[in-house]
Amino acid sequence: MEIAFIGLIGVLIGAGVTGIAAFAVIKHIDSHRYRERELEHQVKEIETINLLNKKINEILSKRNVLMQDYVAFNSFDDCYITIDDFIYLNSFTAQNSFYLPNYLIEEFFKNISHRKVILSPEETVKIGGFTYKGGRIVMETFSEQLLEILNEKRQQLSRSTKQPLRYFNVQ
């Protein structure tokens, strides 16, 4: 009887140790998956901000040849954004609003919309886009703000992982 009782206690202790070990393993796997999802989210934020910054710089680098002939007020600090680019910016920021700094985006669109030169619809269609008086400065400061956020996110990501980040070393 004593041997059966001691055996039963041994089985219960073994089951308890096995249960605690299984619980610890499951918690470890869950925390590892949570950390992976967190890192994936940070990488997606960095990629999204980088894509938006590239598009802003692409718009800034465009200087339409026909614009100088048509619009006499187009100076160096004015910005010309084609209708396609403007729609792309709106849809990109709307689709990726979860990964972008929303306040910064709203301020950018608010500031750039105040600088829009009012043209008739026929003139807008003729030149194929919108002109923003002094918009180049707004877009450049927005691009600089995006670069600051991008660098902060990269530093946060490098602090949160122990392995080197080879993915973001290419500029």
Predicted confidence (pLDDT) per residue in 38-96, tens digit: 888 888 999 999 999 999 988 888 765 545 545 555 566 677 787 788 888 989 999 99
Of 115 and 25, the structure prediction assigns the larger pLDDT to 25
The predicted structure's pLDDT at residue 121: 76
Taking the C-alpha atoms of residue 116 and residue 133, their distance in angstroms, rounded to an integer, is 6
Residue 20 has pLDDT above 60, yes or no: yes
Element (H, E) at 129: strand 129-132
Beta strands 129-132; 79-82: pairing state = antiparallel
Element (H, E) at 16: helix 2-61
Taking the C-alpha atoms of residue 46 and residue 22, their distance in angstroms, rounded to an integer, is 36
SS3 131: strand
Mean pLDDT of 148-167: 80
Band (170; pLDDT cuts 50, 70, 90): very low
Is the CB of residue 149 less than 8 Å from the CB of residue 104? Answer: yes
The predicted structure's pLDDT at residue 154: 87
Of 26 and 156, the structure prediction assigns the larger pLDDT to 26
Mean pLDDT of 95-121: 85
Taking the C-alpha atoms of residue 123 and residue 171, their distance in angstroms, rounded to an integer, is 39
Percent of the chain with pLDDT over 70: 86
Worst-scoring range by mean pLDDT, 9-23, 36-50, 73-87, 95-109? 73-87
DSSP string, 42-58: HHHHHHHHHHHHHHHHH
